[in-house]
Amino acid sequence: MKKVLVIGSGGREHAIVYQLSRSPQVEHIYCAQGNAGIAQLAECVPIADTNVPQLLDFALTHQVDLCVVGPEAALAAGVADAFREAGVAVFGHSRAATQIESSKEFAKQLMARHHIPTAAYRSFADYNEALRYVRSRNTYPTVLKYDGLAAGKGVVIAENEQQADLTLRDMLVGEAFGKGKVVIEDYLQGPEFSFMAFVHHHRVYPMPLAQDHKRAFDEDKGPNTGGMGAYTPLPFISPEEEQWALRHILQPVADAMANEGTPLTGVLYGGLMKTPEGIRVIEFNARFGDPETEVVLPLLETDAYTVFHAIATGNELPPLVWQQQATVGVVLASKGYPGTYKKGAEITGTEQFDGLVLHMGTTRENGHLLTNGGRVLMCVAHGDNIPQARQHAYDEIQKIHCDNLFYRTDIAYQAL
Ligand code: AMP
Ligand code: GLY
């Protein structure tokens, strides 16, 4: 019987813990740090996800058989490197491989070297040179991306020269960002979707496609968030297009990373766009997407421990088996999110929800379930098709009560 340590505290980690808890091989799950939902399935331990020495010490003391890393910050802090060096099986990329997410320029250069389809780009460290380039192009909108950790505020779609100038000043001259470069790229148009795969070096095991909704309010209005809901499958991507993306994007990226000395050992997340010219890469992430994982991972029928362990250690897997159900997940977020919001509002009724309530930001005090983050719950429902699953999700959400939560009412609208 196996012991597993999961690192992270959000809905994505709740989905991971949920799947591991269904594995007959798994005897005990620890989660650092977890949340109130995860605590129903795992023993939560108060160690920060970037505290590498303490996490490793915990894993060795408790003789865990496998560690599954959720957040990018933990990977960028070198958790997987330290565990691998100590001989603990770990599902998660090295710090070097995590650059596919943490450095836009690393990802763009890799794609250019290997002819992976993406928007044309140039990168600049100098404000004057960048501005000269933007002026010479004189094409709007134009996309400006800060090349470094920017907590989700690093992408600006400039509509005119004045806005481009202000953004470049902000990113390259001002104090708000660090000492990074700016990637300037062509503006692409079309529906976006998320294509995740389990990857060990050259081996790539695709997951079902999902779509996330990044804006806070209905009709894709309001500020960008971490994601307000997700669904799978996607009617606007054909099986042929999915195969094309696997063959021309995910597999060649895995091969390139392995061949260039930064092999992947975890999840490769392609943020893709279906443009009139074909499928293009918008970005890569080095981890499970959140909230996409909450609708995708529960569909995995193959034993999750077997999958995570094989990816961690390089064992071969049979083709993965996925339930063929339509799944829609709606995020309940604190009023005010993604700006400032209050914590500590009581939530009731989650037990009545017919489906899966995955906790993103919750805590429990004196037996009461309380909000404890911006995104609080991901309410996941199934159906024979997307309209059914969506109706089911919205009907069931009525059973959950809290006076400080809001949600989008149009999740999956692109699939109706
Ligand atoms: P990223 O952090 O690179 O995923 O960018 C955040 C969001 O900005 C994406 O989800 C897209 O909606 C948008 N975006 C990024 N790059 C482009 C592009 N080249 N063309 C159009 N939209 C983009
Ligand atoms: N849902 C988008 C992401 O995880 O980055």
Substitution site in 102, 121, 147, 157 for ligand 1 pocket (most atoms within 8 Å of beta carbon): 157
Ligand number nearest to the C-alpha of 157: 1
The C-alpha angle with vertex 24 and arms to 21 and 26, in degrees rounded to 5, equals: 55
Burial (Cβ within 10 Å: 0-12, 13-18, ≥19) of residue 236:
middle
pLDDT computed for residue 154 by the predictor:
81
pLDDT computed for residue 110 by the predictor:
97
Substitution site in 283, 287, 292 for ligand 1 pocket (most atoms within 8 Å of beta carbon): 283
Q: Is the CB of 72 under 6 A from ligand 2?
A: no
Percent share of the chain, pLDDT over 90: 93
pLDDT computed for residue 153 by the predictor:
65
Q: Which atom of ligand 2 is nearest to the CA of 292?
A: 1
Count the Cβ atoms, other than its own, within 10 Å of residue 206: 21
What is the distance in A from the centroid of ligand 2 to the CA of 378? 14
* Rg value, the chain, Cα: 21
The residue whose CA has the least distance to atom 2 of ligand 2 is: 289
Substitution site in 207, 212, 228, 378 for ligand 2 pocket (most atoms within 8 Å of beta carbon): 212
Residue 292 phi, psi dihedral angles, 5° rounding: -60, -40
Looking at the DSSP bridge assignments, the partners of residue 347 are 369
**Cα separation, 45 vs 382, whole angstroms:** 32
**Cα separation, 42 vs 172, whole angstroms:** 44
pLDDT of residue 323 exceeding 90, the answer is yes
Determine contact, residues 386/328, Cβ cutoff 8 Å: yes
Residue identified by tokens 């029928």 is: 301
Percent share of the chain, pLDDT over 70: 99
Identify which of 158, 103, 76, 112 has the alpha carbon closest to the alpha carbon of residue 283. Answer: 103
Identify which of 157, 148, 147, 223 has the alpha carbon closest to the alpha carbon of residue 186. Answer: 157
The residue whose CA has the least distance to atom 6 of ligand 1 is: 155
For residues 266-303, one letter each, b for 16 or more C-beta atoms within 10 angstroms of the residue's C-beta and e for the rest, the string is bbbbbbbbbeeeebbbbbbbbbbbbbbbbbbbbbbebb
Count the Cβ atoms, other than its own, within 10 Å of residue 96: 15
Q: What is the mean pLDDT of residues 239-250?
A: 98
Query: Mean pLDDT lowest for which of 88-97, 111-120, 151-160?
Result: 151-160
Ligand number nearest to the C-alpha of 212: 2
Residues with CB under 6 A from ligand 1: 119, 143, 145, 155, 185-188, 192, 214, 271, 282-283
Q: Is the CB of 11 under 6 A from ligand 2?
A: no
Ligand number nearest to the C-alpha of 141: 1
pLDDT computed for residue 152 by the predictor:
57
The residue whose CA has the least distance to atom 4 of ligand 2 is: 289
Q: What is the mean pLDDT of residues 280-309?
A: 97
Ligand number nearest to the C-alpha of 283: 1
Q: Is the CB of 396 under 6 A from ligand 2?
A: no
CA 367, 295, 17, 270: dihedral to nearest 10 degrees? -130
Count the Cβ atoms, other than its own, within 10 Å of residue 214: 15
Burial (Cβ within 10 Å: 0-12, 13-18, ≥19) of residue 397:
buried
Burial (Cβ within 10 Å: 0-12, 13-18, ≥19) of residue 9:
buried
Query: Mean pLDDT lowest for which of 171-180, 236-245, 285-294, 337-346?
Result: 171-180
Identify which of 217, 233, 227, 229 has the alpha carbon closest to the alpha carbon of residue 379. Answer: 229
**Cα separation, 146 vs 183, whole angstroms:** 6
**Cα separation, 388 vs 356, whole angstroms:** 16
Where does the pLDDT of residue 150 fall: very low under 50, low under 70, confident under 90, or very high at 90 and above?
low
Amino acid at 20: L
For the whole model, what pTM was predicted? 0.95
Residue identified by tokens 């928007």 is: 119
The residue whose CA has the least distance to atom 3 of ligand 1 is: 283
Q: Which atom of ligand 2 is nearest to the CA of 230?
A: 1
Q: Which atom of ligand 2 is nearest to the CA of 285?
A: 5
Q: pLDDT tens digits for 111-141? A: 999 999 999 999 999 999 999 999 999 999 9
Q: What is the mean pLDDT of residues 319-326?
A: 96
